[in-house]
Each structure stands twice: as C-alpha cells, then as structure tokens.
Amino acid sequence: MHQLDLRGYNCPLPVLKTKKFLAQLSSGESVTVITDDPDSEKDLQTFCQKTGNPLLSQSNDNNQIVTIITRR
C-alpha cells in the first residue's frame, strides 16, 4: 500500500495532490493519505463520492486524519 503524507498542506491542496497521486496508480491499488487540515476530512469524502474512488476508512486522532482510498 502506498502512503501520501500531506500534513502541513491546507485545502484544496490535499485533495489536488491525492487526485494526482491516484492517477498514477493502477485500478485496485490503495493509498493511505495523512493530513492535518480539518477541512480535508470532509473534502476527501466528497472527492471520493464524486470520482467513484472507494473510501475504505477514515479516522481522526488528535487532528491527524488518516484516509485510505482505493483507485477505481
């Protein structure tokens, strides 16, 4: 599984960088995205809904948001 550390970036950069990273993956591959921008939690959920990339899980622990997304 791939990991993308986007701590320190504010929206919309986490979504844009996630989109660019996912485009490089093959269908079925997953990426763990780590962010610390509170807005990125909802923004990544919306991104997955709009693009059809499954959001496998998302957790928020002390403002560290970990999102696992699979490439459709």
β-pairing, 2-5 vs 30-35, is parallel
Provide the strand spans (E) within 7-63. Answer: 30-35, 55-61
Can 11 be counted among the known catalytic residues? yes
- Cα 63 to Cα 20, 32, 35, 69: the distances in Å are 24, 16, 8, 19
Which is catalytic among the residues 4, 11, 13, 66? 11
Catalytic residues: 11
